Structure 1
Amino acid sequence: MSFPAIDWYLDADPMHKPLALALVLLLAATPIFSQSSARSSSAVQVTLVEVPVNVYDHAGNAIRGLTAADFELTDDGKKREITHFEEIDLAQLAAQKQTPSSAARRNFMLLFDLSNSTPTSIGRSRDAALQFVKGDLTEADVAAVATYSVENGFKLITNFTADRGALTAAILTLGNPKIFHTSDPLLLAATSAGGNMTAGPALERGGTKLNTGEYESIEQRPNAIIGPDTKDAMIAPFVESANRSNTRADEEYRRNRVSHEIQTFSNIARLLNSVSGRKQVILLSEGFDPKLVQGREAAGTVAETVNENDVAMSGHAARLNTDERYGNSAAASALGTMGELLRRSDVVLHAIDIKGLRGSSDAAEGNQRASNEGLYLMTRPTGGEVFKNANDLSTSFHALLKQQEVVYVLGFQASGDTPGKFHSLQLDMKKPDAKASYRSGYYEPNATPSAMETTLTAGEILLNDVAMDAVKVNVLASPFPVRGQSPQVPVIVEIDGPSLMAGANGLTVNGDLFIYAFDRENHVKDSLFQRFNLDLMKVGPALQLRGLKYYGTLSLPPGDYAIKTLVHIPSSSFDGFKRVDLTVPDFSKPTVLQPVATEQSGTWLMVRGTAKPGTTSGYPFLVAQESFIPASTWEISGATPQHLALFLYNVDPKDLVVTGKLKMTDGSTRDVRFDVVKATAPDASKASQVMLDLKADGLAAGQYALDLSVQPKSGAWSKAFTIPVAVP
């Protein structure tokens, strides 16, 4: 028996169906208040609010050694008792190779501004970003890479991840589809299509939009209509008016581009609110022209001011561009809103002036004033910094990291019943001369996250092992050797039917299944994705009986891995998460795999995932050429008691000693005896199998744990396993 394809309720080729999770987000030019995504709960209730705080002195040095008594926190004006306090020295954790909590973890987003940067500056910024990723990020840090342009909006290239390879590929290519691609729906791992990795995407300067039609219409008028003596006199004022109109139209065009950028950043706030902890967005840009928001700068404007005064005194004040002279109040107001939304979502926007050293003017721009004030306008409202006049941009990254070395996590108990409501936080420091950076408040969870919020939230769950159990999930993973290839690792996911149906949308259940294999450095080495669309009229009884059992195969070289599985039900925002640690052994040495329990067919709705291209491995769960269905729990009694399969390599079954103790519900243990149901001699590849039966009469119905020991008669080595056991 094996896993059949259930095409009548499941997409036949799910890997080629459109993904519901949006990989590119074109943010609308309307500010949206940030909302946090609901996490597996139909009742909105905040029990513990965690507030990460960075404290540093005037020189930007992190201050260590503070206690809860040094902080006073109020929530909507009400003083809160700090019930949880933690000082986390990220540099020390990195040295000890430990991972902080998601609230304290440093989350960096490298955001490349393609609309306000030259190709040369973008090239320099990529070099600095690569150095930041390779040399400055610690093992405890995560980062994401994104781009922004007025035409294409905000594009997330790589999700928050610790995978330096994925970040490097994203930085080198900036998402150029000709040289970058990924099949990962959560953007945790990325691969490059090869080719010229140093070539960037087409960059646009975002300059002017001139209308020359009016000039041509005048120049082409025949002299029969406009006499030669009067032509110049007629053209002169018209051209002057056209110049003013086109200049103003150009200013309006560029001002609209700046407004679009400000509104986009406001919407990024809503997006990043779904990520726990503080988010440090590092904008790599030359900045927009600040006069589009705040009016003309003081320097170099005397002649223009005199000319404008003459025009006004001559009775032609309508010709003046007041936005250019005094600034645009709507844009300034939008900047304030953007800053507030980012602070509410615990986002600090920093900027690195990738122009490098600037003078007072830029000859390339017609001797206009060369200013990075536009970057200050973007970062000031969030409490961020602008790093400028540094041709070696890596020094700017070092200065930024210096402030983030120590994080204080303040926690307090709170409850709420108004989804999406914002609570304002105020933090007072009792230590003099200390500067604190913290979020301005928090939102009560909302049950309707966007697709991109779901992408970020799912990535955070997988990366930080966030407990999710609204959907009950069990996972079994076991490696098997494959000649000429990396070992195959079948992954069996058991999804509890009743909890799956609890997230149904009417008579259907639509869900996404994500499986990732992370190595010790938190790099994604392989992954699986499956979408399922279940018609409850057809499969409801089968789901109610047990649930859905999925079978897919990873390919992993020898090493240690964390197999992380997430089941997400979009209609209800229900999630189920499970982590299983796995060692893929060197099969040339004596090897005993994790024992696998068998299961009776017909009790689960079974789904076999689509095989990956280039894989030739067969179904490995066979003993004496008879296949069986693997189970995460061994049912040892009842009408159809099941067996336990041992898979051996370079080990003779006749030389094995198998012993076990059963852990009882009261904490005591009980010796058990095994009977060999069948066994095979080592084949040409030195592989063999043993099928065991367990004798444990008189056990009451319930859940137990079996401690199993396997060793040769010589005692030269031993292997220990713990196996869940159930008595129905």
Structure 2
Amino acid sequence: MRNLFPAGLVALLFALPAAGQQDPAASFLESVEVRVIDVDVVVLDADGRPVRGLTRDDFELFEDGRAVEIANFLAYDEEVTVSAAADAASPAPAAPPAPPANAAPSATWVLYLDQERLEQGPRLEVLRQLSVFVRDSMRPGDRLMVATYDGGSLRVESPLGTEVAPALAALDGLTRKRGNVSSTESRRSFVQRQILTVDLTSRTAADEAQAILGEIEQIADEETLRGRQQVGAARDLLALLAGLEGRVAILYAGAGYESRPAAALYDLWSSKFAALLGPLTTAGASSRELDPRWIEVQAEYRRLMEAANAGRFTFYALLAGRRGPDISAETPRDSSLVSATSAIGASSDLAQASSLAGLADETGGRTLVSAPDLARRLETVRRDLVTYYSLGYQPEGEEPGRRRRLEVRLRPPGLRAQVRRSATDSSGEERAAAATVASLLSDSEPQNALGVTVEVGTPAPAANKRSEALVPVVVRVPLAQVSLLPEAARHRARLVFHFAIQDPDGGYRRLEAKPLEFEVPNDKVGVAVGQHVSFRIELALAPGRYRLGVGVLDELAGTVAIQTAPVEVAKR
């Protein structure tokens, strides 16, 4: 990414004293950030039905095997949620008694179609079923977004919003396009046929075997690259969503990830030529666990898991790979999803399906198979977001990047908990960066605790690039809202400015964060608190309409403030 911040354009400016100067002591108020990790729990009975009416005493919560106190407890119930929605639409004359449970807050739904390795038939089926689900099951106030990965990049097909029409239009538009079945799939089938047709009694059999092994190596290299890009797109999606408040349900429709590139081909090659090559046969999958390509892809997958655990994401895996006829969406994830006519295809598809199922299991979601009854089965997913329990606890310390293993035990017998397996700590800067990007996904008013303002100036021609303009941006923060730490003869503060841009084509870019440390002499504090600190940058942008997100982190207080502004660069 090119540098959008030319050197020498960052400045600290104090404005003229403002009218109605505030009490200087306001800057020194001690603030303590109390961190709470929310653990959402769906409780099911032996028949898979949601269990209502539980209390705090019915739950035990563990972090890394150690029992922790449940500081916050809330029960959400579908019946109360439906009743609350009906009352909002047509209020009753008299309010009923307060129910023991709460109406579930609005949820965020992300429909993510991963088109890598998706054949057209299963792809169209899952799109049709998702359209039915969106049309019939969205609650008023729920937010909805559609995104895709097409083998090249992540795309937002319909922006986050509370209206279903844009999402339905996006899903309909996708049915008119073809998926992205790579040529590697046909090459894999071709190599399989080559292996099976080699005559082991031929003088050239050994040479043919080595030539085929070379082709398998090429396929493994290509699949490794595809796998990294595929997982990377999912991580980009999570980075885009990480700053959203509340629960985020990701309906992930796809065929899954190839965690062991070309493993089935290696095994087939090894079994075919073992007698011919003897001890030289070392290409089998069982002997390749330390293959750098496999380690690389699996490391990317683990990073995706960590990113999922850093937020309140719940993945629902909608398996849309190859499968045999008459498979219901109720099929468990360890069932055969493909025809047995191809050992290579079956082995690969099951491994990919397992990777998606693992993502759902890790985050407390479910695994469903794309089938004609998928829309009906998705009702269980909708129910998960309106009938559940929220357990909050205060973790010890903040260790960015640390994975906290979570476990929920239920005291009543015969019940099971559907819950994410871990939570990963994020630093204050990571949370600020995520909130900045998330502000561009919605038109709702951002949280602006510091009273930040953003002023976009008139674009000026760039000196060296005819196609770009320099757009001045000034971000102002009232000093009365900034935490100042007294140190001898001065007071110190540290702000970190985060920037993100939504491009004219709908893409999102997170720009380099800019820290700003400054000091105020003790004898100037009384005047300073009535002023503001200004941070100036210039953005190098091509013609078009943009949206700028600005996040300001007050490191001493842990406060994050967000503001957005439109930016337009006209053609010259």
Q: TM-score band, normalised by the shorter chain?
A: 0.5 to 0.7
Counterpart in the other structure of 1:380: 358
1:406-448 deviation per Cα after TM superposition (whole angstroms, max 9, x unaligned): 1212233457455555544332211222222233225254224
Whole-angstrom distance in 1 between the partners of 2:107 and 2:74 = 15
Whole-angstrom distance in 2 between the partners of 1:291 and 1:281 = 25
Whole-angstrom distance in 1 between the partners of 2:316 and 2:207 = 46
Q: Partner letter of residue 72 of structure 1?
A: E
Within a 5 Å distance, the mapping from 1:452-491 to structure 2 comes to 454-456=436-438, 459=441, 463=444, 468-471=448-451
Whole-angstrom distance in 1 between the partners of 2:59 and 2:131 = 37
Counterpart in the other structure of 1:84: 72
**Contact 1:422 1:444 survives alignment (8 Å):** no
**Contact 1:52 1:438 survives alignment (8 Å):** yes
Counterpart in the other structure of 2:506: none
Counterpart in the other structure of 2:280: 316
Whole-angstrom distance in 1 between the partners of 2:249 and 2:479 = 40
How many angstroms does 1:151 deviate by?
2.6
Correspondence 1:433 to 2:414 = yes
Deviates more, 1:400-409 or 1:201-210: 201-210
Correspondence 1:119 to 2:85 = no
Higher helix fraction: Structure 1 or Structure 2?
2
Q: Percent identity?
A: 16
1:474-496 deviation per Cα after TM superposition (whole angstroms, max 9, x unaligned): xxxxxxxxxxxxxxxxxxxx987
Counterpart in the other structure of 2:182: 205
Deviates more, 1:357-366 or 1:134-143: 357-366
1:666-695 deviation per Cα after TM superposition (whole angstroms, max 9, x unaligned): xxxxxxxxxxxxxxxxxxxxxxxxxxxxxx
Secondary structure of the corresponding residue to residue 117 of structure 2: coil
**Contact 2:437 2:500 survives alignment (8 Å):** no
Counterpart in the other structure of 2:110: 109
**Contact 2:436 2:500 survives alignment (8 Å):** no
Whole-angstrom distance in 1 between the partners of 2:406 and 2:128 = 38
Q: Partner letter of residue 425 of structure 2?
A: Y
Q: Partner letter of residue 419 of structure 2?
A: Y
Instruction: Flag the 1:290–1:577 CA change in 2: closer, same or farther, 3 A.
Output: closer
Tell me the C-alpha RMSD between the 2 structures: 5.3
Instruction: Flag the 1:546–1:252 CA change in 2: closer, same or farther, 3 A.
Output: closer
Within a 5 Å distance, the mapping from 1:28-39 to structure 2 comes to none
**Contact 2:40 2:419 survives alignment (8 Å):** yes
TM-score (norm 2): 0.60
- Alignment partner of 1:575 out of 561, 565, 571: 561
Whole-angstrom distance in 1 between the partners of 2:245 and 2:30 = 20
Instruction: Flag the 1:499–1:335 CA change in 2: closer, same or farther, 3 A.
Output: same
TM-score (norm 1): 0.48
**Contact 1:510 1:569 survives alignment (8 Å):** yes
Unaligned runs of 5+ in 1: 1-17, 21-40, 175-197, 212-232, 474-493, 515-540, 549-565, 579-606, 613-728
Q: Partner letter of residue 311 of structure 1?
A: L
Secondary structure of the corresponding residue to residue 184 of structure 2: coil
How many angstroms does 1:63 deviate by?
1.2
Whole-angstrom distance in 2 between the partners of 1:324 and 1:284 = 32
Within a 5 Å distance, the mapping from 1:26-425 to structure 2 comes to 45-76=33-64, 78-90=66-78, 92-97=80-85, 105-152=106-153, 154-173=154-173, 199-200=176-177, 203-205=180-182, 207=184, 238-262=207-231, 264-265=233-234, 268-269=237-238, 272-288=241-257, 292=261, 295=264, 306-313=271-278, 315-318=279-282, 320-322=283-285, 330=295, 331-332=297-298, 335-336=301-302, 338-355=304-321, 357-358=323-324, 368-369=345-346, 371-383=349-361, 384-388=365-369, 390-413=371-394, 416=397, 418=399, 421-425=402-406
Secondary structure of the corresponding residue to residue 447 of structure 1: helix
**Contact 1:105 1:141 survives alignment (8 Å):** yes
1:276-330 deviation per Cα after TM superposition (whole angstroms, max 9, x unaligned): 3443222212345676387579xxx8x86652431342x5325x34369879652
Instruction: Flag the 1:340–1:499 CA change in 2: closer, same or farther, 3 A.
Output: same
- Larger radius of gyration, structure 1 or 2? 1
How many angstroms does 1:396 deviate by?
3.5
Whole-angstrom distance in 2 between the partners of 1:306 and 1:95 = 63
How many angstroms does 1:117 deviate by?
0.7
- The alignment covers a number of residue pairs equal to 435
Secondary structure of the corresponding residue to residue 152 of structure 2: coil
How many angstroms does 1:206 deviate by?
5.4
Secondary structure of the corresponding residue to residue 207 of structure 1: helix
How many angstroms does 1:135 deviate by?
0.8
